[in-house]
A and B are shown apart, each in its own frame.
Chain A
Amino acid sequence: MLTVLSHYLDSVRQNLRLDRSSESEVIRELETHIEDEFQELQEAGLSEEAAADTCLTLLGSAKLIARQIYEAHSQGSWTQALLAAMPHLLFGLLFALNWWRGIGWLLGMLVLVLSLAVYGWWRGKPAWLFPWLGYSLLPVVAAGLLLLYLPEGWSWVAIVIYIPLALWLLYSITVKTMKRDWLYTSLMLLPVPTIIGWFLAVEPVNQFPEYWLQRMQDFAPWIGLTFLALGVTVATFIRVRQRWLRVSVLVMSGLLTLTIVAYYTEGRLSMPAFLILIVVMLLLLLSPALVERTLRHTGQQ
């Protein structure tokens, strides 16, 4: 196939953002179409170059085709939407029903999250996987933070061994997710600003554990509410087709949940902290697009 036609197919592939098997089916189908058209045009007496040019003109913009095919494939079923929303809903219920202090519930949740994350990863990374994947990485981060509080002289274990390993794991999972579609990275990171918001509102630093556990208890219904809102966001994300709508849904939910945190903690989250959190939220949700672009640019070079 001529280079110009191969470039056209590469351009479609780069903008499709589908799972690998659907992507190769689409490209193969377009390739066979181009072959037929190219051959027919050449048989009609056109030169190679003229036939290739005509082929591309008749097909139209590669980006437009990729976007339209993405929209044809992107909408998940209601089952997938529910499955994707489930970790947020379960996390929300954990707080709304005050089960978060029960070690059994927490362990059950941990096992469920890890099992589904591993299952989804090996089943071709369907869209419902990414919220589960986000929660499965939380214990990795939490364990790193806890290791820093080890008795004097032992924190080097965390700094030298655990933290580099954990960072490598987070990095490789994030990059692999980004290669599939940067929007899934945003979906994975969606609860992070809300968790940071509640963490700051509870202020666990330099206080007795009982003190901040009591505060968590006070905020528990509202913490539950924010996670239920995230669950609704994820279900909506899975059901809408257009990328711009998906981005809007994520950003709006980030604003909504942070506003809930600020409102119900009655001033515990200062205005500067609230504004900084909004910036952090925008950076977390939108920066994967820039990183993905850089990765692709590097890959092409």
Chain B
Amino acid sequence: MAQRRELMKGSIDSLLLCLIGQQPMYGYQIIKELERRSQGYFKFKEGTLYPALHRLEKAGLLGGRWQALPNGRQRRYYHLTEKGLRNLVTKTNQWLDFLVAMNLIIQPASD
């Protein structure tokens, strides 16, 4: 569990950029969506999500905007900025290279 938490710590920015890049989302929605899509693997300590979102927003990778839901409640939606999009492309490529390299070691092709 601790190892999984350490792995997540290093990849939280990529996960958030990737998810928000697909559609603008608010905090609670992000937590639920990450959990659902990863089939429970990515389970956040919820409080740690907001510092990460604010850090990315401060760095200019995300933007935040208050919007009203159909039920009248207000939620703060995060969207990807231009800078965030460029960062996401770089990060995605790095991840894919990393995964390919890991796979080559873990599952070596039989000659």
Interface residues of A (CB under 8 A from B): 25-26, 28-30, 32-33, 35-37, 58-61, 64-65, 68-69, 71-73, 75
Contacts and interface: CB of A to CB of B under 8 A. Distances in A.
B46 A59 contact: yes
A29 B76 contact: yes
Contact of A32 (B28, B55, B58): B28
Nearest to A70: B51
B21 interface: no
A34 B54 CA distance: 18
B48 interface: yes
A26 B50 contact: yes
Contact of B46 (A25, A60, A73): A60
Interface size range on B against A = 10 to 19
Please report whether the interface of chain B is mostly helix, strand, loop or mixed according to DSSP.
Answer: helix
A32 B76 contact: yes
B75 interface: yes
B47 A32 contact: no
Q: Decide if the interface of chain A is mainly helix, strand, loop or mixed.
A: helix
Contacts of A58: 45-46
A81 B90 CA distance: 30
A36 B51 contact: no
Contact of A33 (B28, B54, B74): B28
Interface in B22-46: 26-28, 45-46
A156 B48 CA distance: 59
Contacts of B4: none
Contacts of A36: 28
Contacts of B73: 32, 35
B27 A33 contact: yes
Given A28-B76, A32-B26, A58-B46, 15 more contacts: A25-B76, A26-B54, A29-B50, A29-B76, A33-B50, A35-B73, A37-B28, A37-B46, A58-B45, A64-B47, A65-B51, A71-B51, A71-B55, A72-B58, A73-B54
B46 A72 contact: no
Given A29-B27, A32-B28, A33-B46, A69 B51 contact: yes
